Amino acid sequence: MNAIETTGLCKRYGTKNVVNDLAIAVPKGSIYGFIGRNGSGKSTTQKMVCGLINSTAGEVKLFERPLNDPEVRSKIGTIIEQPGIYPGMSTLENVILQGYSIGIDDPKKRALESLETVGLNKFLKKKAKHLSLGMKQRLGIAIAMLGEPELLVLDEPINGLDPEGIVHLREVISRLNKEKGITIFMSSHILGELSKLATHYGIIKDGELVDQTTAEELANKRKNYLQVKVDNAEGAVTLLKEKMGLKDYEICPGNELHLFNIKETGAVNRILGGNGFNVDEIFLHQQELDEYFIELMGGEDYE
């Protein structure tokens, strides 16, 4: 079952299609990383999924039910753009208010539990406007998960956090997904961080989906290569062509070789060493998510 399924989703502002014919499928229980440049339509898509913006065309289904079904809407928690809070009210009051809004019994008790989960139980009386950015993000998550949602929609939750905040938030998200089975639909600019969590990816460019894949498929799609640094790169290539049938390679400055479709580090090391080559370094390089993303975007600099 898909937690989110969109078909032909469009959003037009004036003459510009911000989102165009978007078809994404977020499997239930997954952590779906939604990637795209600034202005590519990520936030707009997430807002449409939460019913905060009306789509110009197309359809959104949550857990196989229409978006406007009140029952399905109660299953969503969200942080879009920035955590939705009342800055002048305390941390605890903010969560309690959400409790009243969604109609849970004993909102105070549940608010305390929720704040403990995100590690904010020591800041109950602190006004939300006096919290650090990381704490505000955690407060946003406490609010979003109060009604025990089955789907969390998070827009750039890591933005502006310090390293400690990032690690803590990652742990919280991972725990919610693993322990409570909550589906996470999350966008982020910090792709390295996203790759530590995501089980599925959707890549959007100019409002259109350019790739949708699982983490395993993506690992296979990424161009991994064996990086070798030797004293004579051209001589080494000739030898490896002869001994290993090397076809796909790249000679880089500094006598550095990138050998594609070869993963046998030991064999390459033995052949080169046994034929008098000085091997300074040899390791399997895995293409990072951001490198793959930039390549998919046409090799342009990522904003």
Partner 1 sequence: MNKIFKMDMHRLLRSPVFYVSIIFITIMAVALVMSGMSTSLDGLLGVAGAETSMGMDEGAAFMTSAMGAGVIFILISIILTLFVCKDYSGGFAKNIFTVHSNPWDYIGGKMKSMAVTSGFLLVLYTIESIISLAIFGGSLALTGGIFGLIIFLIEKWLVSLALSAVILLVVLFTRNIAWGVLAGFLIATGGLTMGASLFGQMFGIDWLSTIFSVTISGTSQLCTLSFDPLIFIRVLVASAAWIGIGCFLSKRVLLKKDI
Residues that bind partner 1 (CB under 8 A): 47, 50-54, 67-70, 73-74, 76-78, 80-89, 93-94, 96-98, 100-103, 143-144, 147, 153
- Residue with Cβ nearer partner 1 (47 or 200): 47
* Main-chain dihedrals φ then ψ at residue 45, nearest 5 degrees: -60, -45
Identify the helix (H) or strand (E) that includes residue 241. Answer: helix 233-244
Q: Dihedral of CA 156/159/165/170: which sign?
A: positive
What does the DSSP assignment read for 71-118? HHHTTEEEE-SS----TTSBHHHHHHHHHHHHT-SSHHHHHHHHHHHT
What whole-number distance in Å separates Cα of residue 165 and Cα of residue 161?
Answer: 5
| Number of Cβ within a 10 Å radius of residue 158 | 21
Amino acid occupying residue 177: N
- Residue with Cβ nearer partner 1 (153 or 226): 153
- Residue with Cβ nearer partner 1 (88 or 276): 88
- Residue with Cβ nearer partner 1 (103 or 253): 103
Q: How far is the CB of 169 from partner 1 (least distance, A)?
A: 18
Secondary structure class of 139 (helix, strand, coil): helix
Q: How far is the CB of 59 from partner 1 (least distance, A)?
A: 15
Q: How far is the CB of 101 from partner 1 (least distance, A)?
A: 5
Q: Dihedral of CA 98/160/38/198: which sign?
A: negative
Q: Kind of pairing, strands 16-22 and 249-252?
A: unpaired
Q: Kind of pairing, strands 151-155 and 76-79?
A: parallel
Identify the helix (H) or strand (E) that includes residue 280. Answer: strand 279-285
- Residue with Cβ nearer partner 1 (44 or 195): 44
Q: How far is the CB of 43 from partner 1 (least distance, A)?
A: 11
Count of residues in the chain: 303
Distances (CA, A) of 280 to 75, 208, 225, 245: 55, 44, 17, 22
Amino acid occupying residue 78: T
- Residue with Cβ nearer partner 1 (8 or 87): 87
Q: How far is the CB of 159 from partner 1 (least distance, A)?
A: 14
Q: How far is the CB of 24 from partner 1 (least distance, A)?
A: 18
Q: How far is the CB of 47 from partner 1 (least distance, A)?
A: 7
- Residue with Cβ nearer partner 1 (68 or 275): 68
